[in-house]
Amino acid sequence: MNLISHLKQVRDFRTQPRYPLWVVLLLVIMGTMSNCLGYRALGDFVVRHQKVLLELMKLPHKRLPCYSTIRRVMIRIDYTCLSQVFNDWAQAELIVAPKEQVAVDGKSIKASLQRFR
Q: How far apart are CA 91 and CA 19, in angstroms?
A: 27
Who has greater pLDDT, 111 or 95? Answer: 95
Given this model, what pLDDT does residue 68 score?
Answer: 94
DSSP assigned state of 11: P
Q: What are 70-103's pLDDT values in tens digits?
A: 999 999 999 999 999 999 998 888 877 777 777 7
Residues counted in the chain: 117
Opening angle at CA 95, ends 91 and 97, nearest 5 = 135
- Residue from 109, 96, 45, 43 nearest 70 by CA: 43
Residue 49 phi/psi, 5° resolution? -110, 15
Given this model, what pLDDT does residue 1 score?
Answer: 67
- Residue from 27, 17, 72 nearest 50 by CA: 27
Given this model, what pLDDT does residue 109 score?
Answer: 54
Tell me the HSE value of 6 on the side-chain side, using a 13 A CA sphere: 19
pLDDT at 37 over 80: yes
- Quickly state the pLDDT bin for 114 (edges 50, 70, 90): low
In terms of pTM, does the model score above 0.85?
Answer: no
pLDDT at 113 over 60: no
Q: What are 6-33's pLDDT values in tens digits?
A: 999 999 998 898 899 999 999 999 999 9
